[in-house]
Amino acid sequence: MRPLVRSALPPSQRSAQPTFGQGRTMARAERIKQLSGQQRKLTAAQFGADQSLQKTLKARSGLVERQIGRLQQGD
């Protein structure tokens, strides 16, 4: 087996820059960080919307339960 080309060079002559694959991984990590930031903003907005929706749902379910109670008493 032949040794890898990169390991054939002494450390002083090896390039300090990351290889192509590592650079891509770094860029991907940055992108993921940005996206997760945007996601956090979104989830905060969604949380607010969810809170108001849940209040509405609670009120509606209360109404429905009262109506069901009235119907059961009517029988």
pLDDT digits (tens, 9 = 90+) for 19-51: 556 667 778 888 877 777 777 777 777 778 888
60 within domain boundaries: yes
Residue 61 maps to a domain: yes
Top pLDDT among 44 and 8 is at 44
Residue 43 included in any domain: yes
- Which pTM value belongs to this model? 0.33
The count of domains in the chain is: 1
The pLDDT value recorded for residue 10 is 64
Amino acid at site 24: R
CA atoms within 13 Å, Cβ hemisphere of 27: 7
Residue 56 lies in domain: 22-74
Q: Which residue has the tokens 């940005």?
A: 34
DSSP single-letter state for residue 18: P
Residue 35 lies in a domain: yes
| Residue with token string 């905060």 | 44
| Cα–Cα distance, 70 to 73 (Å, whole number) | 5
pLDDT at 46: 79
Q: Tell me if 51 is assigned to some domain.
A: yes
Question: How high is the pLDDT of residue 53?
Answer: 86
